[in-house]
Amino acid sequence: MALVTTKEMFQKAFEGKYAIGAFNINNMEIIQGIVDGAKAQNSAVILQCSSGAIKYMRPEYLRHMVLAAVEETGVDVALHLDHGDSFELCKKCIDIGFTSVMFDGSHYDYEENVRLTKLKL
């Protein structure tokens, strides 16, 4: 089991006709509880983090906590940045190993939101 992409995870879920839970994380204890629960249910899981929470935890610390949870439990985990509020944060998360990001440009005017959303990371 490993850190996996949501594409890979969703394909298996589609073929197996089951759902994948996605849970917001803010600290080590929440990560442990979610991943332990996923292991107990023999389930993959998506751990997602908001821009605010990731700035609080710092991307590198978060990644290592998630990798430790994967190593300890053997659960397939997708690490997702949810509502990334800047292009730079999305790129940083991809660069350090997040398997999924979602850019949210809703705080920009419409034209800038569209321009940034079209950029390829």
Q: Which of 36, 76, 82, 95 is catalytic?
A: 82
| Residue 82: active-site member | yes
Write the CB contacts of 95 (distance below 8 Å, at least 6 apart in sequence): none
Residues in the chain, overall count? 121
Q: Render the burial of 98-110: b for 16+ CB within 10 Å, e for the rest.
A: bbbbebbbeeeee
Catalytically active residues are 82
